[in-house]
Amino acid sequence: MIPDRVFSMLGIAAKAGKVASGEYQTEHAVKSHKAFLVIIAEDASENTKKMFQNMCRFQKVELIVYGSREGLGHCIGKEYRSSLAVTDAGLARAVREKFAQTTTE
């Protein structure tokens, strides 16, 4: 299944310790310039989406809206997660590539 490629890449990043998950940790990663990519769940609240869109635009961090809260949490071995930040440039690039493949296929 194609969307699983993004989730499995996020799982690899999480195992490598390169994912900040949850609203507080994601916000901290963005504001401390450690985040290379932020992913927000499609079913996250409108306030959460707007807050991260504004923050990422200001800090110049790419943001992707993808998957469900359950899917994002499950792929990193946690409960529901509305937001994730990838804190490694190479892994962020790999996740971006997998996301681009899912949107073009």
60: CATH:
3.30.1330.30
The whole-angstrom separation of Cα 65 and Cα 56 is 12
Mean pLDDT calculated for residue range 14-22? 95
Structure tokens, 58: 């200001």
Determine the residue type at 53: Q
Confidence class for position 53, pLDDT limits 50, 70, 90: very high
pLDDT value at position 3? Answer: 47
Q: Which domain holds residue 80?
A: 4-104
Q: What's the number of domains the chain is made of?
A: 1
The whole-angstrom separation of Cα 7 and Cα 101 is 13
- Is the full-model pTM beyond 0.75? yes
Confidence class for position 86, pLDDT limits 50, 70, 90: very high
| DSSP 8-state class, residue 71 | H
